[in-house]
Chain A
């Protein structure tokens, strides 16, 4: 059983990359940029919800912003167990790829 789905992993990494500025819209942009696929906001919400439920990610409300007419934005950051999950996933990936030549992929495709 995987700890993280690919979508979840992608989103978590985006959150990490964005540091302070990790709310849904930039997360969406990051995911789109890195995966090259078209994502929708709703498609982000679902894995985000799962991550929150699993406790890998926590959200907090930011300050009221003028752009949103005084409404707050919801920001996300990765929790300790979230980082542990990322670490575990990376570890699994490393061990699975161990011994296999990444450069050979170019020849094989």
Chain B
């Protein structure tokens, strides 16, 4: 070999030296040089260089394999050791995993709920530029927010501001009263039915199953239905071209079928009929007049800001509105993405949710997660004080601090991962119950969307870091010397924060218990409250637009009331106790005030069991009753300042109807939800000439025990009079309960979280107990040696924990009282948080904490003193 070796290019050499494994060392570079020399001799420098480059690539892949191999080996090894270590203390591990699982599960549920609630209406491609136009009407007393806007608004806006607006859509759904839809023998009352402009398909995204959006709804008397409606009416047969009969008055031809709208949409119509049909109707409802109202949506052009349009309102109003309306009426743009959580106006398509629900759940979810993490930290550090020896030995043997940190983080990682996996497994099982609790629906497939996977992984990582860091960093940094002196020297000064944590948890549990009890009590109170009208004996039939309302009312009601078991029936414009109209009334020259107002037929008071205190009820004997007689309630006369006797005969004025006469006073009854107190009320008979359009409902008084047979009888009679109209009924008390839907949700939620909070505070107590027991084991041993009875030791521990409980309760009681009282102010009719509730919380928490600490304390007491004092 010639002494002067041919060397590969320096650049290559440098790269190669980085890629040679450490155990080969510098010799490796020489190896390559040698081979390079051989290559040069064989094929020349250029090809040798190419060979060297190839070697670099191999070296790179070897390097990567080696590193990842090392990585894999380390993790496999630590996995094994961690698992082994965790199995050595199964109790602790189970507690940790279950605590973390609960925390993570709650947080995941809340996260899913949050993601669902904030996703409403975003599935429309252009959702960020679709706006609903809402109206704000100001009068002397109030400001009314409504989703109803004048019919011509849409087209005028589009015409006048075409650079800003791409498209508009109008919806007219008869204010949600529903339409009678019939196909062959299938007849139902459909509320989810609306008339729309064909432009709906350009603005909103609908998935067409049969047909397409090109010509759909351009012509009058066409309808597009959803899949579920197609199933309902047509079963397996092809709906296209078939005719649906509406309100037994006209037909609509099915031109297309679309997929049902998903849960997260603010409207869920099953029928979209062409708006142009309305002009051809016998009762001609033209959207061209400014007195007709509909719901208007506008899609702005891309890059256009809503403010640009909002600035034009003044000019627009001066063009189209009469001078006196311009100040009273204001229109606003509302992005559809905002509707679900923030819109609570009159005449919404559906009842919307509230931001406060989400906030509440987010807070609770985060709380529970944080508490379970704190528990983990508490328990782990406390438990580790028992492993100090092991740590000490490791350190002496040369463990670096980083290795110890890695060890603890590894433990945390494994525990948390198990908890996350467990939560994910339990999640699909628990989700339906959770949804039930909060009365929502969700498609389960959403559980596994990509966003949520990212969320799950993030949660896992963050919890690992949070839970693992504290033990990892504090325990590994202990000076070695201390560790062998005695086991109780560990972190004496740290018991303070631990105790505070436990107090915090117990207080939280106590607050939840008391609030839950209060909520329970209030909900029960509402359900049993005497509203002074017999809502539980009433069945309501929907009669608007049916032949029964159109002329057969009297005969129908006659026939019904003849039946056995049916005591009375009456007709109404609105659903008593559920909603009502307001009209302007004034008395003897005073200002006109908007007062709640019922329009009814005869026998109203009888059917609802209302008591007429003075004067008389409406009566068929007095023909003029239908013209000007009215009944008022006690609240009304109180507001007017009349006494019971004065009231009869008092005149009342209405702007359109002239002068009316009070013929009687009814006893107050709760016609609004129990959130409000009783307002004044005026009741009037429907004018005979307006019987048909205004008799929207019939209320029938039944025996509440067994309504079924009577309903069948009524249905048969119904079919006689209105064979083509759906027999649509509901029980009044069911309807009224929907007022309290959110209270029921709150009640369910608190009922759910109370046991969770108790469980978690027990975990916290366990952590504290383990720690304290270790800490004071030497003390116990000494006491035992000096002849202390076990019971005495037990008392010592119990006393300490009793004080903890006491502190917690002292904090919790005032807070829960304030919170509960604030919540109760939502109701005009409410119960009180009683002393019982406080005492119950005390007993409950006291008992559970005793049980929690029992095991450890007994163990500690029974320990042989010799064990503990051995190292002195």
Interface on A for B, CB 8 Å cutoff? 23-25, 28, 40-43, 45-46, 48-49, 52, 59, 61, 66-69, 71-74
Query: Is B34's CB within 8 Å of the partner chain A?
Result: yes
Name the one of A28, A42, A66, A67 contacting B62, with C-beta atoms under 8 angstroms: A42
For this complex, 24 residue pairs linking A to B, each with C-beta atoms less than 8 Å apart, are A23-B31, A25-B31, A40-B55, A41-B35, A42-B55, A42-B59, A42-B62, A43-B62, A45-B20, A45-B28, A46-B21, A46-B62, A48-B23, A49-B23, A59-B23, A61-B27, A66-B3, A67-B3, A67-B5, A67-B34, A71-B26, A71-B27, A74-B24, A74-B25
Complex alpha-carbon distance, A67 and B6, angstroms: 10
Say yes or no: A41 contacts B27, CB within 8 Å. no
Binary A-proximity of B5-25 (CB < 8 A = 1, otherwise 0): 100000000000001110111
Say how far B515's CB is from chain A's closest CB, in angstroms. 61
Query: Does B844 lie at the interface of the complex (its beta carbon under 8 Å from any beta carbon of A)?
Result: no
Given A25-B34, A45-B24, 6 additional A-B pairs, CB 8 A: A28-B35, A43-B58, A48-B23, A67-B34, A68-B5, A69-B5
Q: Is the CB of A41 within 8 A of B31?
A: yes
In the complex, are the beta carbons of B31 and A42 less than 8 A apart? Answer: no
* B contacts with A: majority SS: helix
In this complex, which of B20, B26, B63 has the most chain A Cβ atoms within 10 angstroms of its Cβ?
Answer: B26
B28 touches A24 (CB 8 A): yes
Whole-angstrom CA separation of A18 from B521 in the bound complex: 91
Query: B55 contacts A41, CB within 8 Å?
Result: yes
One of A23, A68, A72, A74 near B33 (C-beta < 8 A): A68
**B35 with A71: CB separation less than 8 A:** no
Question: Once the chains bind, are A67 and B59 in contact (CB under 8 Å)?
Answer: no
A42 B27 Cβ-Cβ under 8 A: no
**Which chain B residues lie closer than 8 Å to A46 at the CB level?**
21, 62, 65-66
Report whether B23 and A73 are in contact in the complex, using a CB–CB cutoff of 8 Å: no
- A43: which B residues are within 8 A, CB to CB? 58, 62
Question: Is B32 interfacial (CB-CB < 8 Å)?
Answer: yes
**For B262, what are the chain A residues with a Cβ–Cβ distance below 8 Å?**
none
Q: A46-B21, A52-B23 are in contact. Are A25 and B35 (CB under 8 A)?
A: yes
Contacts of B27 in A (CB 8 A): 23-24, 61, 71-74
Q: Mark B59-73, 1 if CB is under 8 A from A, else 0.
A: 101110110000000
Chain A residues with CB under 8 Å of B396's CB are: none
In the assembled complex, the Cα of A45 lies from the Cα of B31 at a distance in Å of 11
Write the nearest CB–CB distance from A3 to chain B, whole angstroms.
Answer: 18
Chain A residue numbers with a CB within 8 Å of B623 are none
Asked if A71 contacts B23 (CB within 8 A), the reply is no
For A24, the closest partner residue in chain B by CB is B31
A41 and B30 contacting across the interface, CB-CB below 8 Å: no
Looking across the interface, which residue of chain A has its beta carbon closest to that of B60?
A42
Chain B positions within 8 Å of A40 at CB level: 55, 58
Tell whether A73 pairs with B30 under 8 Å between CB atoms, given A43-B62, A52-B23.
Answer: yes
The 3 nearest A-B residue pairs measured at CB: A74-B27, A42-B62, A68-B30
Q: A45–B63 Cα gap in the complex (Å)?
A: 10
Q: How far is the CB of B498 from chain A (nearest CB, A)?
A: 45
Q: Note all chain A residues with C-beta closer than 8 A to B62.
A: 42-43, 45-46
Q: Does B1 contact A (CB under 8 A)?
A: yes
Q: How far is the CA of A24 from the CA of B31 in the complex (A)?
A: 7
Among A25, A48, A52: residue with most chain B CB under 10 A: A25
Flag B240-275 by CB within 8 Å of A: 1 or 0 each. Answer: 000000000000000000000000000000000000
Q: How far is the CB of A78 from chain B (nearest CB, A)?
A: 16
Interface size on B, residues (CB 8 A): 27
B30 engages A71 (CB within 8 Å):
yes
Interface contact A48-B58, CB-CB below 8 Å? no
B21-A45 in contact (CB<8A): yes
- Residues on A with beta carbons closer than 8 Å to the beta carbon of B30: 68, 71, 73
Nearest CB in chain A to that of B7: its residue? A69
In contact, A48 and B24 (Cβ under 8 angstroms): yes
Within the complex, the shortest CB–CB distance from B37 to chain A, in Å, comes to: 9
Give the residues in chain B near A48, CB-CB below 8 Å.
23-24
Set of chain A residues within 8 Å of B24, measured between Cβ atoms: 24, 45, 48-49, 74
Kindly list chain B residues whose C-beta atoms are within 8 Å of the C-beta of A74.
24-25, 27-28
A40 to B31, CA, bound (A): 11
Q: CA A48 – CA B3 in complex, angstroms?
A: 29
Contact residues in B for A71 (Cβ distance below 8 Å): 26-27, 29-30
CA distance A42 to B59 in the complex (A): 5
The listed residue with most B CB atoms (<10 A of its CB), out of A45, A59, A66, A74, is A45
The CA-CA distance from A71 to B31 in the complex, in Å, is 11
Q: Is the CB of B55 within 8 A of A67?
A: no
Report whether B34 and A42 are in contact in the complex, using a CB–CB cutoff of 8 Å.
no
> From residue B43, how far is it (CB to closest CB) to chain A in Å?
15
State how many angstroms separate the Cβ of B267 from the closest Cβ of chain A. 64
Using Cβ atoms and an 8 Å threshold, which residues of chain A touch B26?
Answer: 71-72
Q: Which residues of B contact A68 (CB under 8 A)?
A: 5, 30, 33-34
B13 smallest CB distance to A (angstroms): 12
Contact B58 A42 (CB under 8 A): yes
Complex Cα gap A46–B62 (Å): 7
Which chain B positions have C-beta within 8 A of A45? 20-21, 24, 28, 62
Convert B562-573 into 0s and 1s, putting 1 for each residue whose CB lies closer than 8 angstroms to a CB of A: 000000000000
Asked if B3 and A41 make an inter-chain contact with CB atoms under 8 angstroms apart, the answer reads: no
Question: In the complex the two chains form, what is the Cα distance from A17 to B335 in whole Å?
Answer: 82
| Residues of chain A with a CB closer than 8 A to B5's CB | 67-69
Q: Which residues of B contact A69 (CB under 8 A)?
A: 5
- In whole Å, how far is A64's beta carbon from the nearest beta carbon of chain B? 11
- Report the separation of the CA atoms of residues A73 and B1 in the bound assembly, to the nearest whole angstrom: 16
Q: How far is the CA of A52 from the CA of B22 in the complex (A)?
A: 12
Quick one: closest A residue to B29, CB to CB? A71
Greatest chain A CB density within 10 A among B3, B29, B61, B62 is at: B62
Shortest distance in angstroms between A18's beta carbon and chain B's nearest beta carbon? 14
Give per-residue flags for B294-318: 1 if the beta carbon is below 8 A from chain A beta carbons, else 0: 0000000000000000000000000
A74, B24: Cα distance in complex, Å: 7
B63 to chain A: closest residue by CB: A42
Chain B residues with Cβ under 8 A from A25's Cβ?
A: 31, 34-35
Tell me the complex Cα distance, A73–B34, Å.
11
Closest to A59 in B: B23
A109 CA to B28 CA, complexed, in Å = 41
CB distance from A23 to the nearest CB of B (A): 7
Complex Cα spacing A52 to B3, Å = 32
Residue from B3, B21, B27, B65 with most neighbouring chain A CB atoms (10 Å): B27
Q: Whole-angstrom distance between the alpha carbons of A24 and B23 in the complex?
A: 12
Contacts of A66 in B (CB 8 A): 3
Shortest CB–CB separation between residue B824 and chain A, in angstroms? 70
Residues of A within 8 Å of B33, CB to CB, are 68
In Å, the complex CA distance between A92 and B812 comes to 73
Beta-carbon contacts under 8 Å, B374-390 to A: none
Within the complex, the shortest CB–CB distance from B200 to chain A, in Å, comes to 66
Q: How far is the CB of A6 from chain B (nearest CB, A)?
A: 17
How far is the CB of A39 from the nearest CB of chain B, in Å? 10
Q: Which residues from B are CB-within-8-Å of A59?
A: 23
Whether the pair A49, B35 counts as a contact (CB closer than 8 A) is no
In the assembled complex, the CB of A34 is this many whole angstroms from the nearest CB of chain B, namely: 18
For the complex, what is the distance from the CA of A71 to the CA of B62, rounded to whole Å? 24
A42 CB contacts on chain B under 8 angstroms: 19, 55, 58-59, 61-63
Nearest Cβ distance between residue B222 and chain A, in whole angstroms? 73
Q: A49–B28 Cα gap in the complex (Å)? A: 12
Task: Give the distance in Å from the alpha carbon of A67 to the alpha carbon of B33 in the complex.
Answer: 10
